Amino acid sequence: MIKVRVPATSANMGPGFDSIGIALNIYNVFGFKETEDGLTFKGVPEEFCNEDNVVYEAMMKCFDRGGYSPRGLEISTLIQDVPVSRGLGSSSTCIVGGLVGANEIMGKRFSQDEILEMAVEMEGHPDNVAPALLGGLVVAIIEEGKVYYETINVHENIKFVPIIPDFRLSTKEAREVLPDKISLKDGVYNVGRAALLVAAMTSGKTELLKFACKDAFHENYRSELIEGFEEVKSEAYRVGAMASYLSGAGPTIMTMISENQVGFSNKIKEFLQTKGLSWTLHELSIDAVGAIVMEGEK
């Protein structure tokens, strides 16, 4: 069996709508095996045990591109630690995992960049799939159908604490509330802050992050779908967050704290309890390697 581990991601970082994302150290692990016949699933919820399964669709895309016809396939979910529809890149783990798994079955016919191109074709934008595949903080764009990206060295003194609501928010629903056009003022607002975000993450000038993570493209619209959003975000800043933003399409609120900061998570948990919110927290670090085929597991 081929085992592929893919990290969670936090995309749309602050002002980096559809273009800036980061990989974090919680993972989904998928297992892949070519069989004699048919399509089988293990450890997968019944509703996803069919040809509409995103992992399967990604594998078939890779096989079709490589001109390969598997006799049969067994797809397993071995570890699923990335919560579904919470803005932490669960669907991207499926896309990247399927593509990498299929590429391994074919004997690594495609380069990492070619896999990224296929992932972006499926996802529609690169800010989740790029860090899921490559690891770290990634800035990526699409120009005439081609993906251009750069990974950014991040200063080490930052931890990420996602505050995860106990309900799902579909990307489709979150997209529908966005305006068709933005003003020049909002465009200028985000361009400057996106540049500042990359500079601050690189330099370690964390005092800039609170301002660099502000957004005028999507957070104001999507936050209305998340009851308690403003209260929780305000409390996060009150108890010491360096920055906070809506992760992906939501509903997770991503916060950044100092590596040496203690007590932040406990204070947020106490606040959530007082508000009757059954939300969860993790203290995470950056995953620097992205998707990997787990050694010794073939």
- The annotation status of 91 as a binding-site residue, yes or no, is yes
Torsion of CA 70, 72, 77, 82, to 10 degrees: 40
Number of Cβ atoms within 10 Å of the Cβ of 184: 7
- The annotation status of 170 as a binding-site residue, yes or no, is no
- The annotation status of 89 as a binding-site residue, yes or no, is yes
Provide the strand spans (E) within the chain.
Answer: 2-11, 20-35, 38-42, 72-80, 137-143, 146-152, 159-164, 243-246, 253-257, 280-281, 292-293
- The annotation status of 88 as a binding-site residue, yes or no, is yes
Whether the CB-CB separation of 49 and 39 falls below 8 Å is answered with no
- The annotation status of 203 as a binding-site residue, yes or no, is no
Gap between the Cα atoms of 124 and 251, Å rounded: 20
- The annotation status of 86 as a binding-site residue, yes or no, is yes
For residue 27, give the nearest of 290, 252, 296, 273 by alpha carbon.
290
- The annotation status of 84 as a binding-site residue, yes or no, is yes
- The annotation status of 92 as a binding-site residue, yes or no, is yes
Q: 186: part of which helix (H) or strand (E)? A: helix 184-203
Gap between the Cα atoms of 125 and 144, Å rounded: 13
Whether the CB-CB separation of 87 and 246 falls below 8 Å is answered with yes
- The annotation status of 222 as a binding-site residue, yes or no, is no
Say which DSSP state 296 is in.
T
Query: Strand, coil or helix: what is 178?
Result: coil
- The annotation status of 278 as a binding-site residue, yes or no, is no
Binding site as annotated, residues for ATP: 83-93
Binding site as annotated, residues: 83-93
